[in-house]
Chains A and B, each alone.
Chain A
Amino acid sequence: MSALDRHRRAALSVTALAGAAYGWWLTGLEPFAWPSTVAVSIPPVAMIVATARRDVRATPLRDWITDIVMTCRRATASTRTGERRRARAAVLWGIVIVSFAAVQLLAYFAGSSASRRDYPTLSWIVGHVDTRAGRTALFVAWLVFGGWLVRR
């Protein structure tokens, strides 16, 4: 293992420990109060500011939509089997994501806070993790996911 790898691994371990300690402290704060709101907002703000200077080359929305339309066409019209299969997988991703959002919205709007057992939403399901250690683990997972997102 090179010195750079060792440094990277050490930095990663320290960051993971700091994230877990921060999560442990945060999950003990009183809910619906400004300290918990501020504490949850600090990592996203820090991460977004730290990466905002990066030169991210964005695709124009019109090109992006054209890309999706072309993929849908390839999924049905392409004569090349491999290309058609890949396009179908991309379309399937779209269907799964839209369905997931639809089920969540349906449960949210059809139910109320009193009838969540009959209309469970994702946050109601996740809410069953009610131990501090479990919530800290969820917080670290949320942090890691956010870190991955801002590096895209």
Chain B
Amino acid sequence: MTGPLILAAFAILVAAMVALDGWARWRGLRHLTAGGVLSFVMRTLVGRWVLLLGWWWLGWHLFARSSAG
């Protein structure tokens, strides 16, 4: 029962991100696009390293810990 709810929550949040990004592009507000928000997080050294190490971890998690079926 919780599975579909969690999937719906992910879908709604992804849709919200796409909508916010689209709205910011439409209004010409570059700092409010998905890229602009990530750039804002990367403005500090902590944010920069958290995102870079997070990206590295994600790659390891998705590609080194599982294989094609």
Contact = CB atoms under 8 A, between A and B. Distances in A.
A139 B52 contact: no
Interface in A27-83: 27-32, 36-37, 39-41, 43-44, 48, 56, 58-61, 64
Contacts of B44: 58-61, 64
| Of listed B3, B23, B47, B51, residue having the most chain A CB within 10 A | B3
Contacts of A118: 1-3
A43 B7 CA distance: 31
Interface in B31-46: 32, 35, 37-39, 42-46
28 contacts: A28-B68, A31-B65, A32-B64, A41-B60, A43-B59, A48-B52, A58-B43, A58-B45, A86-B32, A89-B32, A96-B16, A100-B17, A103-B6, A110-B2, A118-B1, A118-B3, A119-B2, A123-B62, A126-B62, A130-B68, A131-B68, A131-B69, A138-B62, A138-B63, A142-B55, A146-B52, A146-B55, A146-B59
Interface of B: 1-3, 6-7, 9-10, 13, 16-17, 20, 23-24, 29, 32, 35, 37-39, 42-48, 51-52, 55-56, 58-69
Across the A-B interface, give the 4 residue pairs with the lowest CB-CB distance, nearest first: A130-B69, A132-B68, A36-B64, A44-B56
